[in-house]
Structure 1
Amino acid sequence: MTPSKTTALIGCLFLLITAGFAATPPDWLGTAQGLLAEVGKRYGPEARGRVDAWLGLIAQNQGKPEPEQIAQVNAFFNRLEFVGDDEHWGQADYWATPVETLATNGGDCEDFSIAKYFTLRSLGVPEERLRLVYVKALKLDQAHMVLTYTATPGAVPWVLDNLDPAIKPATQRTDLQPIYSFNVQGLWLAKERVGGPERIGLWRGLLARMGVPPGQPR
């Protein structure tokens, strides 16, 4: 499977899911089956099974209350193995697509957070309720990434994290020191928007591979 073919399949599938297909129409099914076939060919049957389970997760949780969707997605990706980028991808920093993370059966905190973000967007959770947040994990004294969900404007965000499997309000995560947050719509320092998402090179590259234009949420 060539990188360009993989990217096209991933991008097409993501665009179909985020367009609101909840009942698996023929075009969606064909794209999904094509993706599964390619994943199986390159990574093997176990990888295909993990991606198939992810597609099932999306199909089964369409239309459910957002707290239930969030709990299911957080638990699903937290089961994967933590692997650093040097070992996993042979480079210092790489942000994987959800399919890459699932096919290779692991990733780091960025990969888990990104996979949760795109899966929740595929389930219809509004863009403005989700942010990827770079933090300092104080107990580990190192950089870390989490996903946050804010149910209503001004509410305390809930934190989806691979370090702590329990989804907790940010006020209870005193072990995390926020640095900046972002999504497709923008980049924020604290609560101040300081620019567009294109300012983050790795995020820009990931969105390009998935066919998602920065600043144009789906």
Structure 2
Amino acid sequence: MRQSKMKFSVLLQSIVLGCGLLLTPLISEADAVGLFNYQATPYSGLKPFPKWRKVLEHYKDIPGDCVPGQYNRCAYQKWEALIKQWEKLPKREQLDQVNRHMNLFRYVLDPINWGVHDYWEIPKEFFARFGDCEDYAIAKYFTLRALGWEAADMKIVVLQDMNLGIAHAILVVDFEGKRLVLDNQIGQVVDSKRILHYRPIYSVNEIGWWRHHPK
């Protein structure tokens, strides 16, 4: 996401917050998990997020045959091979490999790629046409799911980058008592406590969603 998405993100935030007031929390506030020094109120159901629901419905779709000489069209098959290779690694190394590999793909804005302000890609679309920040996060999410990671331990987080003044999206993974960030803007997997310039707005996974607010 870049500046061109900022107005859309603000509008989306207002829609999500409004919907959140009408939903029942998934668990008690005491069980909510904080992020970037913000609290999180969890909610059940994914009705406010049609793009994410569409991803969940179609993420297993596979592309056609690999065309020799066109890496991006063959990347899905390479992805499947890498998953089998990464299955042998310790879990912490899996995070590093997944983050590093997905960050190699080229960044392309949605208006250029899809002709719309905001589009959430399934993995085969990301591998064929590349994508922007939430598409990196989605590809990492489903790669880790294929490696056996639990959905409850991962969240795609939509946030505001306060340094750049733009909307952004990352994947956050709970592992060994830490909240680890997989970010297309950061080369390494880092502890969320080291990042001070992100203001989370909402996060989602297959189970539900969370609205973030200051403590």
Task: Check if 1:11 corresponds to 2:38.
Answer: no
Aligned equivalents of 2:198, 2:159: Cα separation in 1:
6
Task: Check if 1:88 corresponds to 2:110.
Answer: no
Q: Which has the higher helix share?
A: 1
Aligned equivalents of 1:11, 1:114: Cα separation in 2:
12
| Of 131, 141, 154, the match for 2:165 | 141
Match of 2:67 in 1: 40
Kept in 2, the 8 Å contact 1:36–1:52? The answer is no
Match of 1:107 in 2: 131
Unmatched 5+ stretches in structure 1: 1-7, 14-34, 192-218
Task: Check if 1:119 corresponds to 2:143.
Answer: yes
Ranked by relative contact order (alpha carbons within 8 Å, sequence separation 6 or more), the top structure is 2
- Evaluate the alpha carbon distance shift between residue 58 and residue 189 of structure 1 in structure 2; reply closer, same or farther with a 3 A threshold: same
Deviations 1:161-190, CA, capped at 9 Å, x for gaps: 011112111110112111111100010123
TM-score, normalised via structure 1 length:
0.66
Aligned equivalents of 2:61, 2:139: Cα separation in 1:
16
How high is the sequence identity, in percent, across the aligned residues?
Answer: 34
Aligned equivalents of 1:71, 1:54: Cα separation in 2:
15
Aligned equivalents of 1:72, 1:177: Cα separation in 2:
26
Unmatched 5+ stretches in structure 2: 1-56
Aligned equivalents of 2:201, 2:58: Cα separation in 1:
34
- Evaluate the alpha carbon distance shift between residue 162 and residue 10 of structure 1 in structure 2; reply closer, same or farther with a 3 A threshold: closer
Task: Check if 1:163 corresponds to 2:185.
Answer: yes
Match of 2:22 in 1: none
Task: Check if 1:186 corresponds to 2:208.
Answer: yes
Residue aligned with 2:171, SS: strand
Q: How many residues align?
A: 158
- Evaluate the alpha carbon distance shift between residue 190 and residue 81 of structure 1 in structure 2; reply closer, same or farther with a 3 A threshold: same
Amino acid at match of 2:67: G
Kept in 2, the 8 Å contact 1:40–1:47? The answer is no
Aligned equivalents of 2:58, 2:156: Cα separation in 1:
24
Match of 2:41 in 1: none
TM-score, normalised via structure 2 length:
0.67
Kept in 2, the 8 Å contact 1:63–1:123? The answer is no
Aligned equivalents of 1:63, 1:175: Cα separation in 2:
35
In the TM superposition, structure 1's runs of 4+ consecutive aligned residues that sit over 4 Å from their partners are: none
Kept in 2, the 8 Å contact 1:181–1:189? The answer is yes
Cα RMSD of the aligned pairs, angstroms, is 2.4
Task: Check if 1:49 corresponds to 2:74.
Answer: yes
| Of 63, 68, 74, the match for 2:93 | 68
Kept in 1, the 8 Å contact 2:103–2:187? The answer is yes
Aligned equivalents of 2:154, 2:182: Cα separation in 1:
10
Amino acid at match of 1:47: N
Aligned equivalents of 2:117, 2:70: Cα separation in 1:
29
